[in-house]
A = this chain, B = another copy of it.
Amino acid sequence: MTIANATKRLQDYLGERFSTQPAILQQHSQDESYFPVIQPDGVTFPNDTSEVAKIVAICAEEVCPIIPWGVGTSLEGHALALEGGITMNFANMKQVLGIHSDDLCVVVQPGITREELNHELRNTGLFFPIDPGANATIGGMTATSASGTTAVKYGTMRDNVKAMEIVCADGHIIRTGNRAKKSSAGYDLNALFIGSEGTLGLITEITLKLSGIPDKIAAATCCFNDIDSAVNAVISIIQLGIPIARVELLDSIMIQGLNLWDKTFDLPELPHLFLEFHGSQLHVNEQAEETKEIIAEFGGRNFKWATHVEDRNFLWRGRHNSYYAAKALRPGCKVLTTDSCVPISKLAEAINETTQEIERSPLRGPIVGHVGDGNFHATLLIDPDSTEELEIAKQISYRINELSVRLGGTITGEHGIGAGKLDYMPLEHGSAWQTMQLIKKALDPKNIFNPGKVVQIA
């Protein structure tokens, strides 16, 4: 009953698909968060569900932690082996198992990335719309309930994962959900496992909802004199029910970073909205006209369309790389990113207080957000060698999280809890966190699945 026994047995079982090579351990020792490097005791590369089940059975007997790994783009230490144990890398499980065009869904293995999936779908007229920026795996996105720029129209992983195959803590395999549009057949296990961050079971197959590629896509940018006007324009767009597909806020500091990161952007250093509309030609025009009127009402200007696919790609490449654009403002820095999501009516208040919070500190922290959802990120830029700066960033983060909950929102709209936000769980959930721990204990009594994340087991 030790991790050492587990690694020995896994070596025997998997041969060279179990690795303790320094380079491999190193590769699995950090994600994109500010967490210190920490190595697992070994890395497994299962080829299929039955191997996952066998690995789990061995680890359950040996009480050895298992940490699932996609491509390591998580931001809160989700995929780090904080209590040792073995990392399970799903790189060998990235097949598309079936495309069901007539039911608008696809069945995939967890290791496929969202870009790979959309490449596979290229001849179907369908696409998988969820877009967190990073080219994460579908397994990772499901496990963290990811979303991103398109959530305002297409929802999050919670709205787009229809069914899963899951390996449970004793190695037995279950299926959650089905391919029908709705079901009232008992507890919604599918919803329970989405966003459970590998702490309740390992996802080995996922059925995703797909969307038809819209007849017409049009994107645009515009700028505002102040952030308040930009946010109030967004609130108005959402409250009027305009079914916009993307509406992203970049504050003036983030625009500065973007211009630095790629000089072809050359945008005025003012708060910007990046917008996108999907639908029929007629419907897109209608939405765009209504939106333009609202933006003008709030003093928005420099309205520039990007209808050609190359222009749109250029625009969204900028938005998607805001993490790196932010880093361009302070070469060599690390980033602590907040992830507030508040009711839309509280968005202006939340962004105002966040901005003031950052301005009162010695740090810079450009703000970017999927503001149509009420979700925004302060990307706090810190010197990697300064524990003092990390401490200041954490204090700012604490106050922003406290604010989000106070305004009726959440500490994390899309990044998840991991280990980084564990301490905030009582703040958001009160005693409902205890209910989560009861579920964890019931489904993973030995606490082998990604221990130290989401819940705290004594």
Contacts and interface: CB of A to CB of B under 8 A. Distances in A.
A341 B414 contact: no
Interface string A412-450: 111111000100010011111101101111110000000
Contacts of A432: 174-176, 189
A400 to B, nearest CB: 14
A235 B102 CA distance: 9
Question: Which of A175, A196, A374, A432 has the most chain B CB within a 10 Å cutoff?
Answer: A432
B178 A410 contact: yes
Contacts of A179: 343, 408-409
A33 to B, nearest CB: 14
A430 B411 CA distance: 36
Given A430-B175, A435-B168, A184 B180 contact: no
Contact of A415 (B184, B410, B441): B184
A185 interface: yes
B345 A103 contact: yes
Interface stretch (A40-48, A52-60, A143-151, A328-336): A143-151
Interface in A386-414: 404-405, 408-414
Contact of A181 (B182, B195, B339, B374): B374
A194 interface: yes
A168 B430 CA distance: 14
A429 B186 CA distance: 9
Interface stretch (A17-25, A79-87, A278-286, A308-316): A278-286
Nearest to A290: B280
A187 B195 contact: yes
Contact of A188 (B195, B211, B441): B195
A413 B183 contact: yes
B436 A443 contact: no
A374 B180 contact: yes
Contacts of A195: 184, 186-188
Contacts of A344: 102-103, 181
Contacts of A7: none
A410 B185 contact: yes
A342 B103 CA distance: 10
A256 interface: no
B438 A442 contact: yes
Contacts of A454: 186-187
B185 A412 contact: yes
Contacts of A189: 432, 435-436
A186 B374 contact: no
A191 B193 CA distance: 11
A123 to B, nearest CB: 17
Question: Which of A172, A186, A374 has the most chain B CB within a 10 Å cutoff?
Answer: A186
A83 B183 CA distance: 26
B192 A188 contact: yes
Nearest to A375: B182
A180 B103 CA distance: 30
A203 interface: no
Contacts of A414: 182, 184
Interface string A77-107: 0000000000000000000000010111100
A276 interface: no
Nearest to A401: B185
Contacts of A194: 188
Contacts of A343: 100, 103, 105, 179-181
A15 interface: no
Given A156-B182, A183-B412, A172 B431 contact: yes
6 contacts: A180-B374, A184-B417, A185-B412, A186-B417, A187-B200, A189-B436
User: Which 7 A-B pairs give the minimum distances between C-beta atoms?
Assistant: A191-B191, A442-B442, A183-B410, A102-B345, A180-B409, A174-B432, A179-B408
